[in-house]
Chains A and B, each alone.
Chain A
Amino acid sequence: MPSFFMNKRLIVLLVSIILLVALIGFSTRERENISWPEQFVKDIVGFGQNIASKPTGFAEGMVENVQDLLNTYTENKKLKARLEELALLETQVADLTRDNEELRAMNNIDSNIREMESVNATVIARNPDQWQESIIIDKGQVNGIETDMAVRTSGGMIGRVKDTSQFTSTVELLSARNENNRVSALIQSGENNIYGLVEGFDLERDELMVRKIPFDQEVEVGSNVITSGLGGVFPRGLLIGEVTEVTPDEYGLTQTAYVKPAASLYDIEHVMVIERMAAGEDEIEQEATEEEEE
């Protein structure tokens, strides 16, 4: 068999295939965050990307500004009509917030799953091959961003932080196909709150699917869908979208609602990374083990 080992090309091919499989296995497995060499490479590439994306962001902004100017007149008319409603709504919200705070204080409830803190970030890149639905933002661990935080735009929730390096983070969008990408959702249908899970994205309709809705619940088309905060990861009250259609699932045991995302999942420029302030599953478990140790 000397000729076999003499064949340099074949050896190179075999070694590279073994290396390839090992690397793919390493990088696709379940993990909390990426390893430090990957973080290092990401930071270096991200630095250049940050510089490269600034002029284009500026140019895009200019084009948008001109478009805004052209729309100003019609927009102004519409806005004026809604302004009076807004003032009324604002006083109501202020009143209800104070009321809520007082009631909470009376009952000694100090943690609230609605509480959140946000970090503003700018999108510096989108995955060019567009298979993994992910974007890269210019804030990382040094800005306090951790994996699994919720990410939203001014429109509504768009995804969660998949991995972080020191100065950049990758955000996995809600439209990504990932079995673990579930968001506990709440549908505000009429008087009722209906719970379900955002699972999956229908590529043909460009809409999210909320599954596992009990079959006896009546979901109204047009009701809003928000995060429920019951998953222990995201805070409550982030807007996800609006129900457009409800269908029974394949076995007829539960229902599936199609939800049109409130924020555009394609044209994203500025985002907010949301940190949940109330204790989640991890913290509660941690505290429990600490108490046991004592």
Chain B
Amino acid sequence: MRRFLLPFLATVIFYSESIFATFSPVEMFGDTRFLVPRFLFVFLIFLSIYYQRNAGYIYGFVFGFLYDVFFTGVIGVYMFLFPALIYAARFILRYINQNIVVTGLIGLLLITALEFLVYQFNLLIGIAGINFQTFLNQRLYSTLLFNALFILIAALPLKYWMTALRKSQFDD
């Protein structure tokens, strides 16, 4: 039963993103602002830090693939970026001490990197047509704020739950 819990939660978070995306964009401070939910990505970072490194890569690859096929139709972008950025998270944590606040900040930093890389890629293949300033104003700030809220709410439960899961697996 317990082994299905993790895939199930990942699936629920995967679907919740598209549901939260229906609330976007919003009119805030005189501009149209997009709120891009990156809950799955936050989940993956916590997974790789508090549960298992390899699980992070595998989940990142599989759900990145599903994301690409189902939502964007351009296969390869998220499939590659999710594991690559999880690797970056592990890399950063080699040099600084890990605690919950640091993990949250790394999450935000990597969401910025993810947004920027996806933006650059879409610019390259011609899907995006906005300049950098518009990207910052319309997307990045609001997205960071939105996901920071998610991290604030979910960080502690995710951490405790994943550490408990790892412990229980360690005992078996």
Q: How many residues of A contact B (CB 8 A)?
A: 41
> Are A38 and B69 in contact, CB atoms less than 8 angstroms apart?
yes
Interface stretch, picked from A45-53, A107-115, A187-195, A210-218, is A45-53
The contact string, 1 if C-beta is below 8 Å from chain B, for chain A 120-133, is: 00000111111110
Cβ of B168 within 8 Å of any chain A Cβ, yes or no, is no
Distance in angstroms between the alpha carbons of A46 and B12 in the assembled complex: 13
Give the residues from 46 to 81 in chain A that come closer than 8 angstroms, CB to CB, to chain B: 46, 48-49, 52-53, 56
Residue B140 CB within 8 A of the other chain: no
- Choose the segment among A16-24, A240-248, A285-293 that binds chain B (4+ C-beta atoms closer than 8 Å): A16-24
Give the contact stretch, choosing among B93-101, B102-110, B121-129, B158-166: B121-129
Instruction: State A77–B70 Cα separation when bound (angstroms).
Output: 45
Question: Does A26 belong to the interface (CB within 8 Å)?
Answer: yes
A126 to B134, CA, bound (A): 22
* A185 interface hit (Cβ, 8 Å): no
Residues in A with CB closer than 8 Å to B169 are none
Chain A neighbourhood of B19, CB < 8 A: 52-53, 56, 125
Q: Do residues B70 and A46 form an inter-chain contact, with CB atoms below 8 A?
A: yes
Q: Is A41 an interface residue (CB 8 A)?
A: yes
Cross-interface CB contact of A28 among B11, B25, B71, B125, cutoff 8 Å: B125
Chain B contacts for A23, CB-based, 8 A: 75-76, 79
Task: Collect the chain B residues with CB atoms within 8 Å of residue A170's CB.
Answer: 73
Given contacts A129-B36, A206-B32, contact A27 B75 (CB under 8 A): yes
Least Cβ–Cβ distance between B129 and chain A, in angstroms: 5
Mask: chain B, 23-56; 1 = CB below 8 Å from A; 0 = not = 0110000001010110000000000000000000
> In the complex, A159→B155 CA distance in Å?
39
Q: Which of A1-55 contact B (CB under 8 A)?
A: 16-17, 19-21, 23-24, 26-28, 34, 38, 41-42, 45-46, 48-49, 52-53
**A27: contacting residue among B25, B37, B76, CB under 8 A:** B76
Does the CB pair A132–B73 fall under 8 Å? yes
Report A45 CB to chain B, min CB distance, Å: 4
Decide yes or no: A128 and B21 within 8 Å by CB, A19-B76, A27-B76 being known contacts. yes
Q: A106 interface residue, CB < 8 Å from B?
A: no
| Segment 237-277 of A: residues with Cβ below 8 Å from B | 266-267
Q: A53-B19, A129-B118, A177-B129 are in contact. Are A45 and B66 (CB under 8 A)?
A: yes
**B149 interface contact, C-beta 8 A:** no
Given the complex, which residues of A lie within 8 Å of B119, measured CB to CB?
Answer: 131
| Bound CA span A49–B15, Å | 6
Known interface pairs A126-B18, A177-B127, A177-B129; A132-B72 also in contact (CB < 8 Å): yes
The reply to whether B11 and A48 contact each other, CB–CB distance below 8 Å, is yes
Q: How far is the CA of A38 from the CA of B74 in the complex (A)?
A: 11
Which residue on B lies nearest to A41, using beta carbons? B69
Q: Which residue of A lies closest to B139 (CB)?
A: A130
B76 partner residues in chain A, CB cutoff 8 A? 19-21, 23-24, 27
CB distance from A203 to the nearest CB of B (A): 6
Q: How far is the CA of A125 from the CA of B37 in the complex (A)?
A: 13
A24 touches B77 (CB 8 A): yes
Is B132 positioned at the interface, with any CB of A under 8 Å from its CB? no
- A162 at the B interface (CB under 8 A): yes
Q: Which of chain A's residues has its CB closest to B69's CB?
A: A41
> Would you list 9 pairs from A and B whose C-beta atoms are within 8 A, ordered by A residue?
A19-B76, A27-B74, A27-B76, A34-B73, A48-B11, A129-B71, A130-B34, A132-B73, A177-B128
Which 9 A-B pairs rank lowest in CB-CB distance, beginning with the nearest?
A: A23-B76, A125-B18, A52-B15, A128-B21, A128-B17, A27-B75, A45-B70, A20-B76, A127-B71
